């Protein structure tokens, strides 16, 4: 039998008007960016090969999708448990035979389905970009999968914060702070550190450590690696092998588990 919380979540979300408004804006952004990238490529004196246009468009579509999923997924997940406390339905939910893990699983599935739905919505734009060619055919589906996985990871972390903090506003703020730290602050610090070193020798141990520490843990690092690899880039970063995306996804897996555990821990707390 489907998890009762997922069942309720699906029924409620389908009727939620805000959700469709979010979807509209979500679609409008990649559509605009895809159109702009195609137009700019075509306007470039007509000298661009279709493959170049395709590569640029696909990159824009993939990273636009990734950015939106990475931002919207945790925001949508951040109120899933705290809202139960705020609308006072939490006591009735806990006074049930559902274990905290089952409740957290239901909530997590709801958040993941939302992420998947957003991802699928943007598929047509990614597919249009693919029609131009340029990128290796396996890049687009793999990047899509990675984008979805990144969204899942951040949803899980936001759900954990929602369970732990108990207030939607706190959970939103904490999720936003986490996103800024992970998605923006870490690479900025990494780039600055690399800039300070400025020795241009990526083979040096400390440079490598900085790069791995600050940039390879970024939620979009595996996609960057994949896209660069797919368009035939010969940067050092792409030569590091398949372990780069696998390592990134492995970290995401651990973070997903951490988020889930935090959510369960939050649900085990007393109901005042």
Partner 1 sequence: MGDAMSAITGTTVHAGEVLLTLDRLHKRYPNGVEAVRSISMEVRRGEVFGLVGPNGAGKSTLLKLIAGLLRPEQGTVLMEGVDVTGRPVEAARRIGLMPDPLGVYTDVSCREYLVFFARVHGIPGDAESPAFKRVVDLLGLLPWLDAEVESLSAGWQRRLALGRMLLLDAPLLLLDEPAAGLDIQARSALLEIVRNLRELGRTVVISSHILPELESLADRFGIMNAGQWVDILPGQSFIGRQALKQGLGGCRWRIGCEAADAALGVLTKAGIRAAVLADGGIEFSAACERLASDILRDLLLAGIRVNDFRRLDTGLADVALSVLKGGQPV
Alpha carbons 152 and 224: distance in angstroms, whole number: 18
Q: Judged by CB, which is closer to partner 1: 11, or 198?
A: 11
| CB-CB contact of 97 with 154 (8 Å) | no
Q: Judged by CB, which is closer to partner 1: 99, or 201?
A: 99
* CB 171 to partner 1: min, Å: 18
* CB 79 to partner 1: min, Å: 12
Q: Judged by CB, which is closer to partner 1: 107, or 229?
A: 107
* CB 92 to partner 1: min, Å: 7
- Of 131, 115, 18, 23, which is closest to residue 69 (Cα–Cα)? 115
* CB 4 to partner 1: min, Å: 4
Alpha carbons 217 and 196: distance in angstroms, whole number: 20
Q: Angle 67-68-69 (CA atoms, 0-180°, nearest 5)?
A: 95
Q: Judged by CB, which is closer to partner 1: 203, or 272?
A: 272
- Of 93, 76, 110, which is closest to residue 3 (Cα–Cα)? 110
Q: Judged by CB, which is closer to partner 1: 9, or 66?
A: 9
In 28-65, which positions are buried (b, 16+ CB within 10 angstroms) versus exposed (e)? eebbebbeebbeebeeeeeebeeebbbbbbbbbbbbbb
Instruction: Give residues in contact with partner 1 (CB under 8 A).
Output: 1, 4, 7-8, 11-12, 15-16, 87-99, 270-272
Q: Is 250 exposed, middle or buried (0-12, 13-18, 19+ CB in 10 A)?
A: exposed
Q: Judged by CB, which is closer to partner 1: 52, or 86?
A: 86
Write the DSSP string, 231-262.
TT---GGGGG-THHHHHHHHHHHHHHHHHHHH
* CB 77 to partner 1: min, Å: 18
* CB 103 to partner 1: min, Å: 9
């Amino acid at each position: 039998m489907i998890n009762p919380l997922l069942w309720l979540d699906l029924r409620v979300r389908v009727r939620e008007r805000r959700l469709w408004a979010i979807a509209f804006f979500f679609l409008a952004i990649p559509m605009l960016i895809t159109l702009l990238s195609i137009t700019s490529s075509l306007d470039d004196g007509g000298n661009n090969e279709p493959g170049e246009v395709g590569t640029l468009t696909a990159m824009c579509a993939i990273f636009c999708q990734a950015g939106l999923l990475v931002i919207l997924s945790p925001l949508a997940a951040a109120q899933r448990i705290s809202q139960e406390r705020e609308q006072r339905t939490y006591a009735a939910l806990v006074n049930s035979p559902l274990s905290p893990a089952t409740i957290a699983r239901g909530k997590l599935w709801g958040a993941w389905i939302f992420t998947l739905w957003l991802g699928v919505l943007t598929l047509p734009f990614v597919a249009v970009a693919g029609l131009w060619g340029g990128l290796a055919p396996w890049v687009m589906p793999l990047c899509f999968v990675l984008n979805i996985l990144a969204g899942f990871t951040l949803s899980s972390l936001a759900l954990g914060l929602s369970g732990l903090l108990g207030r939607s506003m706190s959970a939103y703020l904490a999720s936003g702070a986490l996103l800024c730290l992970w998605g923006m602050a870490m690479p900025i610090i990494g780039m600055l550190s690399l800039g300070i070193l400025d020795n241009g020798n990526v083979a040096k141990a400390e440079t490598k450590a900085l790069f791995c520490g600050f940039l390879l843990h970024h939620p979009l690092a595996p996609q960057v690696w994949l896209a660069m690899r797919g368009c035939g880039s010969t940067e050092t970063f792409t030569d590091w092998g398949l372990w780069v995306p696998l390592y990134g996804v492995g970290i995401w897996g651990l973070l997903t588990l951490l988020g889930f555990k935090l959510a369960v821990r939050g649900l085990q707390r007393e109901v005042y």
